[in-house]
Amino acid sequence: MAGGSKYEELIAEDVAYHKASTPLEDMPSCTNMFDKWAQCFALGPQIKAVYRYGGLQDCRDKLDDFKFCLTMKGMSPEEKYETWIRRKAEKTASQRLGRESSENVWQIRSAGYPVHLCGWGMHTYDPAHTRWRR
C-alpha cells in the first residue's frame, strides 16, 4: 500500500469522525482561534511543554489556524464547515502517521530499577515480580 493512499484513508476516517463529533454550531470562530493562539504564550502551557517535550511550545499551528479562519471569511457556513473539517482531518492524519509525541521522549524500562541504598544494604526492584529483592 502506498504512503499517499494510507494518508487519504486516514483523512477519510478523520473527516467522518470530526463530522460526527463536531456539529456545525460548534465550529470555532476566528475570535476563539485568536484567543487560543494568545493563550499558547501563557506560562502554564509553556511549562507543561518544557516538562513533556523538553522545550517551549511552538504556537505556529495555532497562528496558522487563525490565519486559515480569516481566509474563510467569504464562504457560506456550510463551506466553512466542510473546509474546516477537512483541514482538521489532514492535521490529525499527519499526526497519526508519525509526528513526535511525548511518548517518544520517555523510554520504556526493560531492566530492573537502579540499585537503591537503604538501611539493610543494597536492594533492587524487579518489575517482573513486583517486589524488592536483596
pLDDT along the chain (134 residues), means of 10: 72 90 90 95 93 91 95 93 94 76 50 51 53 50
- Residue 115 lies inside a defined structural domain of this protein: no
Is 123 a member of any domain?
Answer: no
Indicate yes or no: pTM above 0.75: no
53-70 residue pLDDT tens = 899 999 999 999 999 999
Q: Which three cell numbers stand for residue 102?
A: 511525548
pLDDT at residue 118, rounded to an integer: 47
CA angle 53, 92, 65 (to 5 degrees): 85
Write out the residue range of the structural domain in which residue 29 sits: 3-104
If you search the block for the grid coordinates 544494604, which residue do you land on?
121
- Residues 123, 39: Cα–Cα separation, whole Å: 47
Residue 68 inside a domain? The answer is yes
- Provide the domain count of the chain: 1
